Amino acid sequence: MNQINLGIEKCINSLGEKFLKWPYNFFTESDAHSFLYYYIFRSGPKELKLFYSTINDDEKTVLIHREYPTNFRYHKENMSLDEETGGRGHYDLVILNPDFIKDHNIKEVIAQDYKKTCQKNIKEHLLAAIEFKLITKPLSAGLKNEIEKDFKKLAWAVKDKEQAKNAYLIIFNRTRKEEVFLNDLRKYSAENPEVKAIYIESIKNEKRTYKILYMGSWSHKLKYGLTN
């Protein structure tokens, strides 16, 4: 499993390298999702590319899916867990755990029915939960708040609710330098150390500038553009 996790991080870094070189290759966050999907199927470990059978062998599925639901309910306004009156969220991209697939039927794997899947105390549905943010204009308070909430949601996924073995937050910025925001990111990371985050600036003005900040415990990193 360690090799699979390493392979996931290599693919994320391949996506980061693409953004460093060609920041306008992605018009939207959905473009970034698609490129990561492509990198996983092109160069990821073979285990990530296979079909896996559910418990009764009648249905098979791949590991990579978009908009997968959380196994917990919460209030998005104040980011408080609430299994009674809260709503479910979604992850931009997930990599399912093969062991979860083989031990459950397809409806439980899809996890749309909260009572049948999420209240059965099933753990580690996912090898990885991944969120993306693409900054295409000067950073607003609203977007900064969304990023802070993503940190919190992903930390819940790993630690409090044990839905995911690993959680990644990918933040790309092609607009302008955000020195103050780097300190905010470090704060969010310190508060949510379970989350592996990467922030990349690739700015094309009169002079090309770039910066990479890793947060959390990464096994694989790009070799250039790093900041502490």
Q: How far apart are CA 227 and CA 218, in angstroms?
A: 14
Instruction: List, for residues 176-221, the tens digit of each pLDDT value.
Output: 999 899 999 999 999 999 999 999 999 987 777 889 999 999 999 9
At 1 the pLDDT is 58
At 120 the pLDDT is 67
| Cα angle for residues 48, 52, 54 (degrees, 5° grid) | 145
At 57 the pLDDT is 76
pLDDT category of residue 37 using cuts at 50, 70 and 90: very high
Instruction: Output the pTM of the full model.
Output: 0.94
At 209 the pLDDT is 85
Asked if 68 and 119 touch (Cβ cutoff 8 Å), the reply is no
Instruction: List, for residues 50-86, the tens digit of each pLDDT value.
Output: 999 999 878 999 999 999 999 999 999 999 999 889 9
Q: How far apart are CA 89 and CA 71, in angstroms?
A: 8
Closest to 88 (Cα-Cα) out of 124, 118, 60, 110: 118
**Residue whose entry in the numeric block shows the structure tokens 């780097």:** 182
